[in-house]
Structure 1
C-alpha cells in the first residue's frame, strides 16, 4: 500500500512550506491528505471516517 499521511491544517500552517513538503513527499510516493483543524473540532468521527475511506480507496487501487 502506498503511504498516505493525514496532515492537520490550522492557521499556523505556512502554505509555501507545506507546498515544498508536499512536493518532497510526493516525489517519494507519499500522498498527503489535508484535514482542516475545524473539521476535527466539528466531528472527529467524520474525520476518522474520511481517513478510513481514503485507506480503502488506496487498497482498492492497489488490488
Structure 2
C-alpha cells in the first residue's frame, strides 16, 4: 500500500465528543483517547475509517505540506 505522507488526520476539538467510535474502528490502533484529548500515532495508514465513522464530523484528512 502506498501512503501519502503529506496527509494527516486532524480533529476539531470543539466538535469531538470523545465517544470513542474512531478508536473502535481503527484497524491499526493508531488513535489514542485519554482525558478529553485525542492523538493519532505514527501507525496511522490514513485508511479514513475514523473519518467516516465519526458522528460529529470532527475528523478529517488534511494536506500537511
User: Do they superpose with TM above 0.5?
Assistant: no
- Structure with bigger strand share is 2
TM-score, structure 1 normalization? 0.28
TM-score, structure 2 normalization? 0.28
Mark the structure with the bigger radius of gyration.
1
- Structure with bigger helix share is 1
